[in-house]
């Protein structure tokens, strides 16, 4: 087969393209949410889809997150493949009941008779001065739910392939989109000029249909000194900081939190003997705690230094002090130095 | 059997004689009696410790699901909350599979994974069985959305109780269901108590059929103890939905004789209240009286029906006790699609 043609895309364009491709191939795929149809989404992820696929396939909903997800679950149980957008992850809490008790549980409690092929897309994370209610990273609230997949791509290439995979998955998938990465990779320095995805290898996106298996991590850099386990916006902070500190880091972009690529994690930590875990979400009971426990359980006798976590503080996401909250290069560099101090 | 009906529609409904036939009424009698005897048996098994956890009996409310079911067509779907055994029997799901789910056995509809509140059948178009109060209502509208999109002509019926009618997501659903004119019928089974809280103590507007007014959804209050009144109201509402005119709300005034669940001390109402309704408004007694009055069934015929139903129920109870416990490996199956 000929190599598929590629095109430079932002994450927004890649996400839109994933929906466009699946909608074109399968009339059961419907896209909807607040301001998704006519307006094209606050971040423009659905721009043009209504025009191209029709009002009946890409449409606006009232501001009713619980209802949006609930109706989507009913649609999914009755033969469709709904793709619901929750405008910000911070708005998803009214739908938590539906996600946790209905979407994630239909298969189990019906003994496989019913399924819920539902995708919920929602932007997460800070970096745009959104304050407490437009910046949160609630992934750990969802990785705690059996029966639900939670994924978070960090670049256009993965975003498209994983979203296609999510839409075609026969189980519910929560698809988290790090909004600070929509238009370019972000190294954690808010004062640096914004970079676009142009010229980035992962901004080169095949134009056709392709899937990326959910549950597989991506190796960002190959290294021997330390393993960095991270995802979302922090992937690019990790890469930039490791380069600056001059450390040989094995950086794993986990991409999919549940299912999790435990094999890749264990293999890497056994190789390096050191582990740094990074996420933007608050620290206590964050997904990093789960990663830390897993590394301890599976790699304890290979560890040569305590596991470190660099995360957001245990505070609401601040507005003015956004960059004091955000786990930027300085905190990452200090953690790396602590991990390596006995070398 | 003159069913009392109120409506939010400006049009005054003309008083109507509730017509029926011998065959239809006999079938209603059988269907309702099956639910009652099944529930009585479930109550017994619960008392014997054979059913664990939660068990919400439908006794007293049999006319609601029976009358609605009679107005549904092939392909129409039903979804409800946790007081769901009657709905499953009405959908022709097998008594054996339902009872064995109550006892948590392999032969249960969900192989013991669901229990009393969580059973399903794609084949019988029964979409559960939902244990979170009101959470099934948006799903019901979603079923309707898919029906409309797929243009399959089916109507979904979303049942919920008076308690659930105070949940916010119900109103989000009303809004979207009317906004998009989804083929869905909302059936509020108003048995007058949300667990132990009466409608009067929980609801600013106690006439629940009016709850759709601000969404332009027509509501009708129906005597839910009268299977023929339920049938007629359901037929209108289902026809309305199927014709593309959008949802309707049917408030069924009904009553449950037993507690909310098996562990309900029932301190919130008097024994006299229950006894009075039971003796004056029992839906099965009413059908029986009409059968006898019309000369459609004599005592022997009714006894024979009762005997047959008892046999089905006893068989389901035997099955529910002899069916093996689920294999330990079942704990981890059907969490996600297995590779």
For residue B246 the two structure tokens come to: 């959008």
Residue of A nearest to B178 (CA): A62
Neighbours of A279 (CB within 10 A): 28
- Bridge partners (DSSP) of residue A228 are A251, A276
From residue B98, how far is each of A233, B36, B333 by CA, in Å? 49, 14, 20
The backbone torsions φ and ψ at residue B140, rounded to the nearest 5 degrees and listed phi first, read -60, -40
Mean pLDDT along residues A45-61: 97
**Average model confidence (pLDDT) for chain B?**
94
Are B90 and B69 in contact by the 8 Å Cβ rule? The answer is: yes
Mean pLDDT along residues B235-250: 98
- For A109, the closest of B118, B172, B176 (CB atoms) is B118
Residue of B nearest to A116 (CA): B336
- B13 band by pLDDT with thresholds 50, 70 and 90: low
To the nearest 10 degrees (0 to 180), the angle between helices B299-322 and B283-293 is: 140
pLDDT at position B203: 94
* Longest pairwise C-alpha distance within chain A: 62
Is any Cβ of chain A less than 8 angstroms from the Cβ of B332? no
pLDDT in tens, A281-308: 999 999 999 999 999 999 999 999 999 9
Neighbours of B256 (CB within 10 A): 21
Mean pLDDT along residues B31-37: 98
- Give percent above pLDDT 70 in chain A: 99
Quick check: is B118 in a domain? yes
Number of helices (H), then strands (E), belonging to chain A: the values are 12, 14
Are A81 and A117 in contact by the 8 Å Cβ rule? The answer is: yes
Are A279 and A308 in contact by the 8 Å Cβ rule? The answer is: no
Q: Are strands A275-282 and A204-206 parallel, antiparallel or unpaired?
A: unpaired
The residue range of the domain holding B118 is: 22-314
For residue A246 the two structure tokens come to: 């001059």
Is any Cβ of chain B less than 8 angstroms from the Cβ of A64? yes
| Topology of the domain comprising A6-206 | Rossmann fold (3.40.50)
From residue A296, how far is each of A133, A269, A303, B163 by CA, in Å? 34, 10, 8, 47
* Residues in B touching A71 (Cβ below 8 Å): 138-139, 141-142, 145, 173, 176
Whether pLDDT at B14 is above 80: no
Q: What is the dihedral of CA B15, B17, B18, B19, to 10 degrees?
A: -150
pLDDT in tens, B133-184: 999 999 999 999 999 999 999 999 999 999 999 999 999 999 999 999 999 9
Name the DSSP class of A99. I
- B11 band by pLDDT with thresholds 50, 70 and 90: low
Number of domains making up chain B:
1
Quick check: is B326 in a domain? no
Neighbours of A124 (CB within 10 A): 24
The backbone torsions φ and ψ at residue A308, rounded to the nearest 5 degrees and listed phi first, read -110, 145
The backbone torsions φ and ψ at residue A220, rounded to the nearest 5 degrees and listed phi first, read -85, -50
Q: What is the CATH number of the domain that holds B308?
A: 3.40.50.970
From residue A64, how far is each of A76, A141, A186, A230, B171 by CA, in Å? 18, 20, 32, 32, 9
**Average model confidence (pLDDT) for chain A?**
96
* Residues in B touching A215 (Cβ below 8 Å): none
Tally C-beta pairs within 8 A across A and B: 153
* Residues in B touching A103 (Cβ below 8 Å): none
Quick check: is B17 in a domain? no
Neighbours of B307 (CB within 10 A): 9
Sign (positive/negative) of CA torsion A175, A179, A184, A186?
Answer: negative
pLDDT at position B169: 96
Whether pLDDT at B339 is above 70: no
pLDDT at position A70: 97
Q: From CA B161, how far away is CA B193, in angstroms rounded?
A: 9
Is any Cβ of chain B less than 8 angstroms from the Cβ of A37? no
- Bridge partners (DSSP) of residue B233 are none
Are B62 and B334 in contact by the 8 Å Cβ rule? The answer is: no
The string of DSSP letters for A166-217 reads HHH-SS-EEEEEEGGGSSS---S-TTSPPPPSTT-GGGEEESS-----TT--
Domain limits of chain A?
6-206, 218-340
- For B142, the closest of A74, A108, A112 (CB atoms) is A74
Mean pLDDT along residues A218-231: 98
Question: Is B139's CB within 8 Å of A71's CB?
Answer: yes
pLDDT in tens, A157-190: 999 999 999 999 999 999 999 999 999 999 999 9
Q: Are strands B5-7 and B77-79 parallel, antiparallel or unpaired?
A: unpaired
* Residues in B touching A110 (Cβ below 8 Å): 109-110, 113-114, 118-120, 128-129, 334
* Residues in B touching A70 (Cβ below 8 Å): 135, 137-139, 141-142, 169, 172-173
Q: Are strands B248-253 and A308-312 parallel, antiparallel or unpaired?
A: unpaired
Q: From CA A248, how far away is CA A221, in angstroms rounded?
A: 8
Q: From CA A11, how far away is CA A182, in angstroms rounded?
A: 5
Question: Is A102's CB within 8 Å of B141's CB?
Answer: no
Quick check: is B142 in a domain? yes
Q: From CA A299, how far away is CA A310, in angstroms rounded?
A: 20
From residue B136, how far is each of A242, B84, B184 by CA, in Å? 49, 12, 13
Identical topology for domains A6-206 and A218-340: yes
Q: From CA B99, how far away is CA B39, in angstroms rounded?
A: 9
Q: From CA A18, how far away is CA A175, in angstroms rounded?
A: 12
CATH for the stretch A218-340:
3.40.50.920
Is any Cβ of chain B less than 8 angstroms from the Cβ of A93? no
pLDDT at position A342: 84
Quick check: is B322 in a domain? no
Is any Cβ of chain A less than 8 angstroms from the Cβ of B146? yes
pLDDT at position B3: 66
pLDDT in tens, B207-218: 999 999 999 999
Residue of B nearest to A95 (CA): B169
pLDDT at position B1: 59
* Chosen from A36, A71, A116, A118 to mutate, greatest number of chain B CBs within 10 A: A71
SS3 content of chain B, % helix, strand, coil (to 5): 45, 10, 40
* Residues in B touching A80 (Cβ below 8 Å): 145-146, 149-150
| Interface ipTM | 0.88
């Amino acid at each position: 087969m000929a190599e598929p043609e590629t095109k430079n895309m932002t994450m927004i364009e890649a996400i839109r393209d994933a929906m466009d491709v699946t909608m074109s191939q399968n009339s059961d795929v419907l896209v909807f949410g607040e301001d998704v149809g006519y307006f094209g989404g606050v971040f423009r992820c659905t721009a043009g889809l209504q025009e191209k696929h029709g009002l009946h396939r890409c449409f606006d909903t009232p501001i009713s997150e619980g209802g949006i997800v609930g109706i989507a679950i009913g649609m999914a149980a009755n033969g469709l493949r709904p793709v619901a957008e929750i405008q910000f992850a911070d708005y998803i809490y009214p739908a938590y009941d539906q996600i946790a008790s209905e979407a994630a549980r239909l298969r189990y409690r019906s003994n496989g008779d019913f399924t819920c092929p539902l995708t919920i897309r929602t932007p997460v994370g800070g970096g745009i001065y959104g304050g407490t209610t437009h910046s949160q990273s609630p992934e750990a609230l969802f990785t705690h739910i059996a029966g639900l997949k939670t994924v978070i791509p960090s670049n256009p290439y993965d975003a498209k392939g994983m979203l296609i995979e999510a839409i075609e998955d026969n189980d519910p998938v929560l698809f988290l989109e790090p909004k600070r990465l929509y238009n370019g990779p972000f190294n954690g320095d808010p004062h640096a000029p914004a970079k676009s995805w142009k010229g980035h290898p992962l901004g080169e996106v095949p134009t056709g249909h392709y899937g990326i298996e959910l549950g597989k991590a991506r190796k960002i850099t190959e290294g021997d000194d330390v393993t960095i386990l991270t995802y979302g916006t922090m992937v690019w902070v990790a890469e930039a900081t490791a380069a600056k500190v001059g450390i040989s880091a094995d950086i794993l972009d986990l991409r999919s939190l549940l299912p999790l690529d435990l094999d890749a994690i264990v293999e890497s930590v056994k190789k390096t003997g050191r582990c740094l875990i990074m996420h933007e979400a608050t620290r206590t009971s964050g997904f990093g705690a789960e990663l830390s426990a897993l590394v301890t359980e599976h790699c304890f006798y290979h560890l040569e230094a305590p596991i470190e976590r660099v995360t957001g503080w245990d505070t609401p996401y601040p507005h003015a002090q956004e960059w004091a909250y955000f786990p930027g290069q300085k905190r990452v560099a200090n953690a790396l130095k602590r991990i390596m101090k006995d070398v | 059997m003159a069913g009392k009906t109120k409506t939010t529609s400006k049009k005054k409904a003309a008083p109507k004689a509730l017509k029926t036939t011998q065959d239809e009424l006999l079938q209603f009698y059988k269907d309702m009696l099956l639910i009652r005897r099944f529930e009585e048996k479930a109550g017994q098994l619960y008392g014997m410790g054979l059913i664990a956890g939660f068990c919400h009996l439908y006794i007293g409310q049999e006319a609601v699901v029976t009358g609605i079911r009679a107005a549904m067509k092939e392909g129409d779907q039903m979804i409800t909350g946790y007081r769901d055994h009657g709905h499953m029997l009405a959908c022709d799901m097998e008594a054996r599979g339902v009872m064995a789910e109550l006892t948590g056995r392999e032969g249960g509809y969900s192989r013991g994974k669901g229990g009393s509140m969580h059973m399903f059948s794609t084949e019988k178009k029964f979409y559960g069985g939902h244990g979170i109060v009101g959470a099934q209502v948006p799903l019901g509208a979603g079923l309707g959305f898919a029906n409309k999109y797929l243009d399959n002509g089916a109507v979904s019926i979303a049942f919920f109780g008076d308690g659930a009618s105070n949940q916010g997501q119900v109103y989000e659903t009303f809004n979207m269901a009317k906004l998009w004119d989804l083929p869905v019928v909302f059936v509020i089974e108003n048995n007058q108590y949300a667990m132990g809280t009466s409608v009067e103590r929980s609801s600013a507007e106690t006439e629940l059929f009016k709850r759709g007014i601000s969404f332009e959804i027509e509501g009708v209050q129906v005597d839910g103890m009268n299977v023929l009144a339920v049938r007629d109201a359901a037929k209108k509402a289902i026809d309305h939905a199927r014709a593309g005119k959008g949802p309707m709300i049917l408030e069924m005034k009904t009553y449950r004789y037993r507690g909310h669940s098996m562990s309900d001390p029932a301190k919130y109402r008097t024994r006299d209240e229950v006894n009075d309704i039971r003796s004056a408004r029992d839906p099965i007694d009413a059908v029986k009286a009409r059968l006898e009055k019309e000369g459609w069934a004599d005592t022997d015929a009714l006894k024979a029906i009762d005997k047959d139903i008892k046999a089905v129920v006893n068989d389901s109870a035997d099955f529910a006790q002899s069916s093996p416990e689920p294999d330990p490996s079942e704990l981890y199956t059907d969490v996600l699609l297995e590779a």
